[in-house]
Structure 1
Amino acid sequence: MAQRETKAPARQNVHQNARTPARQADEGTLSEAANSNKPERTYLAVPFDEREPAKKLGARFDRKAKSWFAPNAKVAKATMKWSVKGKVPAAEQKRDPQGEFSDWIRAQGMDLQGLAQMDGKWHRIAIAGEKKEKNASYRGFLEGGVPNGMLHNFKGSQESWTFDGQQLSKDEVARAIEAGKKASIARADERRLDQEKAAKTAYGIWANLTDWAKPSNCEYLKRKNVLGFGVKLDKDARMVVPLRDTDLKIHSLQFVGEDKHYLKHGRKEGLFHAIDPKRYLNDADQLGQGDTLVFAEGYATGASVHKLTNKPVIVTFDGDNLVKVATALREKYPNVTMLFAADDDHHLPLREKPLPNKGLEKASEAAQAVGGYVVAPPLNKNEKAKGLTDWNDLCTERGHDKAVFQFLTRARAALNLGNGRELEQTTSKSKQQGREQEISL
């Protein structure tokens, strides 16, 4: 009896011990199943100009972490090209991102000497064979999940680069994201301070310039056959153009001589120069229903269009700035009609490495953003062969009167008169200016 009592617990213990691994396995399976139901974030290194395609594929942006991520396995598979998980074998890891970025910039046709700076700031650079003028800029980032960068060719579009030479663990990604957040805040603070200092410098320079630029003292205005509107002349006979915000405060300056450049560290984004001799923009109540604002990329185009229309013209300095400026002015003047006197960069799609027609695309983008209308110059085949691209070129080539007719014709077409909108014109003559036609919308 004693033996049975001794063996029974033993058998029971053996039986319990035999079931324990199974129970543990079941518990492990349940735990794994529970964990598998929790979506695991796959962090992504999405270049700035590829954020929209990534978003369409299901990628999301973590504002707190300031990083893109794939919320589930399906999206992770669709966005695999941006994943920070290993993209190359371990034997090929730890290549130098700064060196790769530098080689990539040179491969895009840039004249880069030495290594590229990867500090998150824009750096001007010359296109190979065009060293006289720096017509491009780049910036690179070493933090933020995986090193990446972008190149902006002022004569074309923006290209992006992502480093694929290293594999990052989750901990490394987390550390990189945190470092990226701190670096981003530091860059923003530094940029803000630099821009504030530049604004004070710009105001000081502008206030101390005494001569207004005009064709008789400014070679640029003489060559472009346009008048000076709110622009001054510096000691080097360069035209100086102020960059203002919607309150008309000066933040920076553009200097126009043999080439064009801006005040160092000066802000350009969202700023403009107004060709507005009647000073409509000085009083928000002066512009409303039935009034018109015309937008142009460059000063010469803007001055020519002002002569064609007698309307205030907003010079945005480049196509990339059109949307931001137009949006800001739409908020201030909600009822005005907005026309975009687009550049026609017809030569860019014909390059060996085709680029978008940036002038037309950016004007269309801005027009769609604010409910405006694109008025592009109707260049013929011969004029395109000569390299003409804008309304200033058309005025020079065909003469003022013909250019007025063409602008009005194109504006009517853009406004779609069939919907009941009317485009009226009044004609006045003077010995000094010849025929002028004014648009009323």
Structure 2
Amino acid sequence: MELDKAINGLTYIDPSDRDTWVKVAFALKDEYGELAEQAFLDWSATAPNYCTKAALATWKSAKQGSVKIGSLIHIAKQGGWQFSRPEPLPPHVLAARKAEQAKATAERLRLEQEDRAKAAKEAATRFNPASPANPNHPYLSIAKMVSTYNLKQEGNGLLAPMYHNRQLINLQTIYPNGAKRFIAGGQVKGAYSIIGNAGAMANDFYIVEGWATGASLHEFTSKPVLVAFNAGNLLAVALDARKAFPYAQIVIGADNDLNHKSGINVGVVKAQEAALAIRGQVSIPPIAGDWNDYLTGRKREALAKGGANHG
């Protein structure tokens, strides 16, 4: 079913009932993915108890696979929707709903900007006075076997700076067990961190998902690396990078997600998408995992052989 038909069906569903509201979010996410986010938010905004932050959080928490689009169709039919011959709403009703949706969209954007500004201020407050990262931090020296580069440290957490348009806007905190956290409400899309000499980026550089992956590739190639922090952000970072460096050779260092729970190699798919958009190249590690997994494995093998030879 086309998204437009589902949007029409939503007009027959009461968004003020929380159970129904959550079920609709899951059904839309399952059928259309992120394409349906705005439709869900616009429909939610027509409820008298609408809360922008709650709507955004509910959409983010919705998972694919648990509720199908048939559930949405069933609920809409209970409200009088005719799937094959939907009746158009009166013009005055449509106008009122569009006005509510516009108001809700403006409020959502205002809250997002407010949250981003708070996150950027927190990032500067925490990152600027922090000490350089300890090279013996277990995430660096034991788990990933990489140097500190641009990291700082706060307690037992490593702080990776995240920039956009050369401004510090967010932080990723990396804990000894590998857990990672962004500042709540902070901008992630388009955000990046630089490892290596930014002045050399006019020639060639890499773009990768994770910070440790970037550190490993930089050590192995001596090339600058942009860290995008997740697969979904590769495209945004790549597009901005291509604008800044129109003639550079850009290589996307993919994560080889062979065992992804979705059955889709997300890391490779997103890397290929980004490379295609900027006329770049893709480099895929020869094992399941990322380039840090592969290069660290080689380091461990070399150390093991060296120890055996020494013995």
TM interval, short-chain normalised: 0.7 to 0.9
Q: Match of 2:104?
A: 183
Q: Distance in 1 between matches of 2:239 and 2:16?
A: 41
Q: Match of 1:332?
A: 244
Following superposition, the deviation at residue 396 of structure 1 comes to: 2.1
Q: Distance in 2 between matches of 1:396 and 1:179?
A: 54
Q: Match of 1:346?
A: 258
Following superposition, the deviation at residue 398 of structure 1 comes to: 2.7
Label 1:300 to 1:178 Cα distance change in 2 as closer, same or farther (>3 A): same
More strand by share: 1
Following superposition, the deviation at residue 231 of structure 1 comes to: 0.6
In the alignment of these two chains, the number of paired residues is 268
Whether the 8 Å CA contact 1:151–1:160 is kept in 2: the answer is no
Q: Distance in 2 between matches of 1:307 and 1:264?
A: 31
Q: Secondary structure at 1:208's aligned position in 2?
A: coil
In structure 1, what residue type is equivalent to 2:154?
D
CA deviations on 1:61-108 (whole Å, 9 max, x unpaired) are xxxxxxxxxxxxxxxxxx5x43515898xxxx6586531343477899
Label 1:367 to 1:145 Cα distance change in 2 as closer, same or farther (>3 A): farther
CA deviations on 1:284-335 (whole Å, 9 max, x unpaired) are xx543xx111011001111111111100000000011111111111111111
Is 1:200 matched with 2:121?
yes
Label 1:86 to 1:187 Cα distance change in 2 as closer, same or farther (>3 A): closer
Label 1:85 to 1:255 Cα distance change in 2 as closer, same or farther (>3 A): closer
Whether the 8 Å CA contact 1:145–1:177 is kept in 2: the answer is no
Label 1:204 to 1:87 Cα distance change in 2 as closer, same or farther (>3 A): closer
Q: Match of 2:212?
A: 300
Label 1:304 to 1:95 Cα distance change in 2 as closer, same or farther (>3 A): closer
Percentage of identical aligned residues: 25
CA deviations on 1:312-367 (whole Å, 9 max, x unpaired) are 0000000111111111111111110000110011112xx4xx44211011000000
Whether the 8 Å CA contact 1:345–1:358 is kept in 2: the answer is yes
In structure 2, what residue type is equivalent to 1:255?
T
Label 1:306 to 1:172 Cα distance change in 2 as closer, same or farther (>3 A): same
From 355, 367, 382, the equivalent of 2:275 is: 367
Alignment of 1:42-441 (within 5 A): 46=3, 81-85=5-9, 94=14, 98-103=18-23, 142-143=43-44, 150-151=59-60, 163-164=72-73, 165=75, 166=79, 167=81, 169-170=89-90, 171-209=92-130, 211-216=131-136, 218-222=137-141, 223-235=143-155, 237-246=156-165, 248-257=166-175, 258=177, 259-276=179-196, 278-280=197-199, 287-288=201-202, 291-348=203-260, 351=261, 354-379=262-287, 388-399=288-299
In structure 2, what residue type is equivalent to 1:372?
G
More helix by share: 2
Normalising by structure 1, report the TM-score.
0.54
Alignment gaps of 5+ in structure 2: 29-36, 82-87, 303-311
Q: Distance in 2 between matches of 1:270 and 1:189?
A: 19
Higher relative contact order (CA 8 A, sep 6+): 2
Label 1:86 to 1:393 Cα distance change in 2 as closer, same or farther (>3 A): closer
